[in-house]
């Protein structure tokens, strides 16, 4: 460099802050060249990859990552690496290094978040499993949060702070916090169990103990259920994973068992006809599937018949509509056959004895 300077005009050999004017020109030219190289490479890669984005796949992810690489960032990167050819104060080099580390770490974290979102999106697109959307989004948020934690640690390390003691302190503090928040953490892990084991999903009608309703939201700590009366029931996730849950949404059909009674005065011939009458009524109903009908018991006030059928729908309204049609038709047929339904009665038999 000194040999080159001897052939330069005097003005280019003048020094400013420890560097000649020629050094500053070289610095500017190299920064410009390196920035241009970055810009050209980015443009080239962008055009090469963009032609595949119409087919979907990972190409769209790379296009998004390239879009995030702004001109200001790679211009600064060029400036940072080229500035080492100059004689610069130590504080300035340290300041630029901190900016470089922080900015690069930020860009890496943002890119990591994009990759996480892409992986989750592609998994859901491939599996089509809507019940795991919330779980995967929650996991994505946790991973993104961890990325920011690592970013902060790197930033503090760049500032010269001893992060070893800090990480050790965080570990001890984390154990203490875990003990203090064990109930909340228990609900959190229970929510993961619900998400992945899928005993129910949003929109399912469930029964838990003596409570029932439609699942509206599965949260991190609790699950909200809308009861039939209209009020909202809040269950802790821990409670749900340890309770017996009846999920009516999982039914393909509903079973119905009904018992009716006729009076004791009904003849045996009519009693023999009743199961066939009931069977014929149920088989005519399109949404019902007959199972059985029998004379089942002698009760206190009636001769009881029990019949079972299946409604070909899990919808409760359809279930009730079918039941209503069947019962009305049974009433109609019994009236035609003059079969009397039983109701609580008491018969008193009087005997006239011999007074002698």
Q: Residue 162 pLDDT > 80, yes or no?
A: no
Please tell me the predicted confidence (pLDDT) of residue 113.
80
Q: Which pLDDT tens digit goes with each residue over 177-223? A: 545 455 666 666 677 777 767 778 788 888 888 888 888 888 777 88
Tokens of 191: 């929510």
254-336 CATH, one of 3.40.50.300, 3.30.70.100, 3.80.30.20, 3.30.1490.20:
3.30.70.100
User: Residue 142 class from Cβ within 10 Å (0-12 exposed, 13-18 middle, 19+ buried)?
Assistant: exposed
158-178 average pLDDT score: 60
Q: In terms of DSSP bridges, do strands 288-298 and 19-20 run parallel, antiparallel, or are they unpaired?
A: unpaired
User: What CATH number belongs to 190-250?
Assistant: 2.30.30.60
Section 127-156 average pLDDT: 71
Q: What is the CA 49 to chain-centroid distance, rounded? A: 32
Spatial distance between the Cα atoms of 215 and 232, rounded to a whole number of angstroms:
10
Question: CA–CA separation, 234 vs 160, rounded Å?
Answer: 48
pLDDT per position as a tens digit, 262-320? 999 999 999 999 999 999 999 999 999 999 999 999 998 899 999 999 999 888 889 99
On average, the pLDDT of the chain sits at 78
H, E, C per residue of 220-241 = CCEEEEEECCCCEEEEEHHHHH
**Domain residue ranges in the chain:** 2-159, 190-250, 254-336
Give the pLDDT mean for 76-99: 81
Same fold: 190-250 with 254-336: no
Distance CA 286, CA 7 (A): 104
Q: From 71, 168, 61, 67, select the one nearest 119 (Cα to Cα).
A: 61
Paired residues of 218 in beta bridges:
223
The angle that helices 71-82 and 90-127 make with each other, rounded to 10 degrees, is 140
């Amino acid at each position: 460099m000194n040999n080159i300077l001897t052939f330069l005009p005097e003005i280019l050999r003048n020094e400013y802050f420890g560097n000649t004017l020629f050094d500053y020109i070289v610095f500017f030219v190299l920064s410009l060249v390196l920035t241009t190289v970055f810009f050209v490479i980015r443009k080239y890669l962008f055009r090469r990859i963009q032609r595949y984005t119409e087919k979907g796949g990972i190409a769209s992810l790379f296009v998004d990552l390239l879009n995030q690489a702004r001109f200001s960032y790679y211009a600064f990167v060029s400036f940072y690496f080229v500035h080492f050819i100059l004689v610069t104060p130590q504080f300035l080099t340290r300041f630029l290094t901190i900016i470089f580390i922080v900015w690069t770490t930020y860009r890496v974290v943002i890119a990591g978040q994009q990759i996480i979102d892409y992986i989750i999106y592609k998994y859901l697109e491939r599996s089509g499993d809507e019940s795991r959307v919330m779980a995967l989004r929650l996991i994505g948020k946790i991973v993104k949060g961890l990325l920011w934690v690592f970013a902060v640690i790197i930033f503090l390390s760049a500032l010269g702070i001893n992060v070893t003691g800090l990480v050790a302190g965080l570990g001890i503090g984390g154990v203490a916090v875990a003990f203090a928040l064990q109930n909340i953490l228990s609900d959190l892990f229970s929510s993961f169990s619900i998400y992945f084991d899928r005993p129910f999903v949003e929109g399912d009608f469930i029964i838990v103990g003596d409570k029932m309703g439609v699942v509206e939201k599965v949260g991190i700590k609790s699950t909200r259920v809308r009861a039939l009366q209209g009020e909202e029931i809040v269950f802790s996730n821990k409670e749900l994973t340890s309770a017996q849950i009846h999920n009516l949404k999982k039914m393909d059909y509903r079973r119905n068992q009904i018992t009716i009674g006729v009076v004791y005065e009904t003849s045996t011939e009519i009693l023999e006809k009743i199961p066939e009458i009931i069977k014929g009524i149920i088989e005519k109903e399109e949404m019902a599937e007959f199972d059985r009908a029998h004379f089942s018991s002698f009760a206190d006030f009636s001769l009881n018949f029990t019949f079972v059928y299946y409604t070909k729908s899990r919808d409760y309204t359809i279930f009730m509509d079918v039941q209503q049609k069947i019962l009305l038709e049974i009433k109609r047929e019994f009236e035609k056959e003059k079969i009397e339904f039983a109701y609580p009665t008491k018969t008193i038999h009087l005997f006239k004895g011999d007074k002698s």
